[in-house]
């Protein structure tokens, strides 16, 4: 089977800076990694290939340096990948991002599954996976926690919902978005790293696909960031230090007092 895994390069630390004027993130000077939640998508894709044969391709949209994310996916065991990159794609919201990714995927030939991470740790929206499905007019199973079986054209999976787990038979081609429970990601192998180092990752720009100009980047995005600010947190904390038997006893007593005062016990 052929599996496409859209991945995103995200900043490593939480110490990211914002461009106050455009409301977008300044990515310079912050180490970039593969979105940790995408690793689960890569892992389950590789496992499916190991069980059923075929090929796994990683697709990443981002600036030229996001090629590193594709190479990391290859080092883990993906067979190859493409970078989707063009100045015209910059500033895209989830609507415009999923549009370009869907158009890029259309150029890659037939596939049975598109497997996405649940969400990226920077934008935290989780909208791009279902968005890609909508653009490609494919069914999407979100929050997949287990892929039980893949037969001819059906993928049986477990979907994590509020009340428990749904067991779904999904007709392929389809999009899955997966949660952590799906599989523990492996580390890159030495052989994988060597393969990744040598690999020429093709870049797809707007000229390489049939895209509508008016759907691209910031100007193609329905949403606009109008303000960025830091969250305020303010509570008065009653503090006790508990270092020995006496102070531990006092602190625990005070805690019970607090519970009583607030009518919590």
Partner 1 sequence: MEYKGVWILAEQFKGRVQRISHELLTRGADLAAKRGVELTAVIFGNEINDDDLQGLIDRGADTVIATEAPELEHFLVEPYAACMIKLIAEHRPEIVIAGATSTGRTLMPYVAIKTNAGLTADCTVLDIEEDTGNLLQTRPAIGGNILATIKTPNHRPQMATVRPRSTQPAPTQQGRTGKITRLTAPSELLESRIRRVDFVPDESEHGLQDADTVVACGRGIKKGENLSLINDLAESLDAAVGASRDVVDRGWLSYPHQVGLSGKTVSPKLYVAIGVSGTIQHLAGMQTSENVIAVNSDPDAQIFRVADFGIVGNLFEVVPAMIEKIKATREGEKH
Query: What is the footprint of partner 1 within residues 22-41 (CB under 8 A)?
Result: 23, 25, 37
State CA 261 to chain mean position distance. 44
| Alpha-carbon Rg for the chain in angstroms | 22
Considering the complex, what minimum distance in angstroms separates the CB of residue 154 from partner 1?
A: 9
Q: Does 254 bind partner 1 (CB under 8 A)?
A: yes
State CA 2 to chain mean position distance. 20
- Cβ closer to partner 1: 198 or 227? 227
Among 133, 147, 150, 183, binds partner 1 (CB under 8 A): 133
Among 38, 43, 103, 118, binds partner 1 (CB under 8 A): 118
Instruction: Evaluate whether 41 touches 117 at the Cβ level (below 8 Å).
Output: yes
Rounded Cα distance, 226 and 89, in Å: 20
Size of the site for partner 1 (CB under 8 A): 91
Q: Does 19 bind partner 1 (CB under 8 A)?
A: no
Which among 55-63, 79-87, 188-196, 231-239 is the span making contact with partner 1, rule CB under 8 A? 231-239
Could you count the other beta carbons within 10 Å of the beta carbon of residue 209? 16
Rounded Cα distance, 124 and 76, in Å: 24
Span 139-178, contacts to partner 1 by CB under 8 A: 139-143, 145, 156, 158-171, 174
């Amino acid at each position: 089977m052929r599996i496409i895994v859209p991945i995103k390069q995200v900043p490593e630390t939480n110490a990211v800076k914002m461009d106050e004027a455009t409301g977008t993130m300044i990515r310079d000077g912050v180490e970039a990694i593969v979105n940790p939640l995408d690793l689960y998508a890569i892992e389950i894709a590789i496992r499916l290939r190991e069980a059923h044969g075929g090929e796994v391709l990683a697709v990443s949209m981002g600036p030229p340096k996001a090629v590193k994310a594709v190479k990391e996916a290859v080092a883990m065991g993906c067979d190859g990948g493409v970078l989707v990159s063009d100045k015209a794609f910059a500033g895209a919201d989830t609507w415009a991002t999923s549009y370009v990714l869907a158009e890029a995927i259309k150029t890659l030939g037939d596939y049975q599954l598109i497997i996405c991470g649940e969400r990226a740790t920077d934008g935290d929206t989780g909208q791009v996976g279902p968005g890609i499905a909508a653009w490609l007019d494919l069914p999407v199973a979100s929050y997949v926690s287990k892929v039980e079986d893949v037969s001819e054209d059906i993928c049986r999976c477990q979907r994590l919902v509020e009340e428990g787990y749904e067991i779904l038979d999904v007709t392929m081609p389809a999009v899955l978005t997966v949660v952590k429970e799906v599989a523990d990601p492996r580390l890159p192998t030495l052989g994988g790293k060597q393969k990744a180092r040598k690999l020429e990752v093709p870049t797809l720009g707007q000229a390489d696909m049939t895209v509508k100009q008016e759907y691209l980047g910031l100007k193609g995005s329905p949403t606009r960031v109008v303000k960025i600010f830091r969250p305020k947190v303010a509570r008065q904390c009653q503090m006790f230090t508990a270092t020995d038997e006496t102070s531990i006893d006092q602190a625990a007593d005070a805690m019970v007092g607090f519970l009583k005062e607030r009518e919590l016990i």
